[in-house]
């Protein structure tokens, strides 16, 4: 991911230096198990641990000739270790190191994503309770539907984000798996218990079975999970973009002192952060397709997956990390205009209460078909000619013969639509 959208901690996880360090961690863990079994001398292990070192520049320099990054890495280690380096990489194939190290990198990346998800959950919960009793018009198909609670919007986002957190935990479990099973996964040179003990030292599970590589359904699950989380963030940002429209203006991104909205129009306050979140979410979803394409490899392994993974694993992790942080900041500082919500709720002059009027008539014994027709004909008149819906239905002979003016007034009581919000909050936050 480009530096502009990479936060420091996630950037450090996916740095070349950290990748090589994880490779070294795997190599050392294997050497330790060999020493425990007497496969390599104890003094050789001590020398390896004391002298094993690399530099990114030197590895890259060697790779220009070797055209193989793992060989370049082990060659650089050998330059520093000396004769004991003959025991490094003993019985291993490159993917034993790379895939097991990938598990460490992905696990660390997932931990950062979980921490940011927790921060988002805190903001969503706080603001949900802040706006629990704030009425807002609910919209379906982009058209005013019925009144709702603004707090319910936040509660819904909170509930979805808790599911995303569970997905991330599951994805972390699936990718925190190592393999030390050799060139085709058959343990030709090392016993399965070596793999189990190496993985235990690294805090990983050993794969039940593998080929030369960890099976890529695990990576696909990770990338698809990131795609789902990104889609939730886009869903949130898209809603904010709607609220910030001039005609709506129910909420807007915080606009800091000195900020400029347009090079040509000084009055502009654009939802640039929300738009950025929406755009970047698309790249995370697109990368999930690469993960799915990488599941099918030829036989025990080809390398059609590896070049793509060098891009999509760090980029998806860094992008989601970034937009999680930005979404949290966006919502934490979101400027809300409850008075405009009420104004917008009233803009249709009572039409949004038509559903409750329909039910009130059926309670009086009117068939649903007749009640719908009476309610709709007055609603269409307001749509087409203007006027006040409540006043109009009071003059409708069919309706007024079944409902008194007091009963009609109760139909238009906003509190009716918010009466069960506490129950929903108990479900979500208990």
Q: What is the CA radius of gyration of the chain?
A: 30
What does the DSSP 8-state code read for residue 84? G
Q: What is the pairing mode between strands 205-206 and 135-140?
A: unpaired
C-alpha distances (whole Å) from 366 to each of 371, 373, 381 are 6, 11, 21
Beta bridge partner(s), residue 220: none
Q: Which residues contact 144 (CB under 8 A, 6 or more apart)?
A: 137, 138, 344, 345, 347, 348, 351, 352
Inter-residue contact 274 to 330 (CB < 8 Å): yes
Active site residue 262: yes
Q: What is the pairing mode between strands 205-206 and 177-178?
A: parallel
Q: What is the pairing mode between strands 335-336 and 135-140?
A: unpaired
C-alpha distances (whole Å) from 103 to each of 13, 27, 87, 213, 256 are 12, 14, 23, 12, 41
Return the SS3 of 347: coil
Contacts of 362-368 with CB under 8 Å at 24 or more apart are 364/402, 364/403, 365/402, 366/402
Active site residue 141: yes
User: In whole angstroms, what separates CA 142 from the centre of its chain?
Assistant: 25
Using N-to-C axis directions, what is the helix angle for 354-363 and 368-385, rounded to 10°? 150
Q: Which residues contact 329 (CB under 8 A, 6 or more apart)?
A: 273
Catalytic option among 15, 17, 68, 262: 262
User: Annotated catalytic sites, by residue?
Assistant: 141, 262
């Amino acid at each position: 991911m480009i530096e502009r959208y990479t936060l420091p901690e996630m950037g450090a996880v996916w740095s070349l230096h950290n990748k090589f360090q994880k490779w070294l961690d795997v190599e050392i863990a294997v050497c330790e198990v060999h020493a425990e079994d007497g496969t390599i001398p104890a003094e050789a292990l001590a020398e390896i641990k004391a002298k094993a070192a690399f530099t990114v520049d030197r590895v890259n320099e060697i790779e220009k000739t070797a055209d193989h990054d793992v060989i370049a890495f082990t060659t650089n280690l050998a330059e520093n270790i000396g004769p004991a380096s003959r025991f490094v990489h003993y019985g291993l194939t490159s993917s034993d190191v790379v895939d097991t190290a990938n598990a460490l990198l992905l696990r660390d990346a997932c931990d950062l994503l979980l921490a940011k998800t927790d921060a988002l959950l805190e903001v969503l919960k706080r603001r949900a309770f802040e706006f629990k009793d704030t009425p807002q018009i609910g919209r379906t198909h982009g058209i005013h539907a019925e009144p709702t609670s603004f707090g319910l919007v936040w509660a819904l986002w909170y509930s979805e984000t808790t599911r995303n957190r569970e997905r991330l935990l599951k994805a972390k479990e699936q990718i925190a798996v190592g393999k030390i099973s050799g060139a085709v996964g058959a343990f030709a040179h090392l016993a399965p218990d070596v793999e189990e003990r190496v993985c235990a030292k690294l805090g990983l599970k050993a794969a039940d079975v593998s080929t030369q590589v960890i099976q890529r359904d695990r990576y696909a699950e990770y990338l698809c999970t990131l795609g789902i989380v990104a889609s939730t963030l886009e869903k949130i940002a898209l809603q904010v973009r709607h609220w910030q429209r001039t005609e709506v203006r129910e909420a807007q991104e915080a606009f800091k002192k000195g900020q400029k909205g347009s090079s040509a129009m000084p009055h502009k306050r654009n939802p640039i952060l929300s738009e950025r979140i929406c755009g970047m979410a698309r790249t995370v979803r697109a990368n999930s397709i690469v993960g799915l394409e990488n599941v099918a490899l030829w036989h025990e392994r080809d390398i059609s997956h590896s070049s793509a993974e060098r891009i999509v694993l760090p980029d998806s992790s860094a992008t989601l990390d970034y937009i999680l942080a930005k979404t949290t900041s966006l919502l934490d500082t979101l400027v809300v205009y409850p008075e405009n919500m009420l104004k917008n709720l009233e803009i249709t002059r009572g039409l949004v209460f038509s559903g409750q009027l329909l039910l009130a008539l059926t309670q009086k014994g009117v068939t649903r078909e007749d009640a719908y027709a009476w309610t709709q004909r007055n609603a269409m008149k307001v749509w087409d000619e203007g006027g006040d819906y409540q006043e109009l239905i009071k003059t409708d002979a069919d309706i007024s013969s079944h409902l008194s003016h007091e009963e009609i007034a109760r139909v238009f009581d906003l509190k009716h639509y918010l009466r069960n919000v506490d129950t929903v909050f108990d479900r979500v936050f208990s």
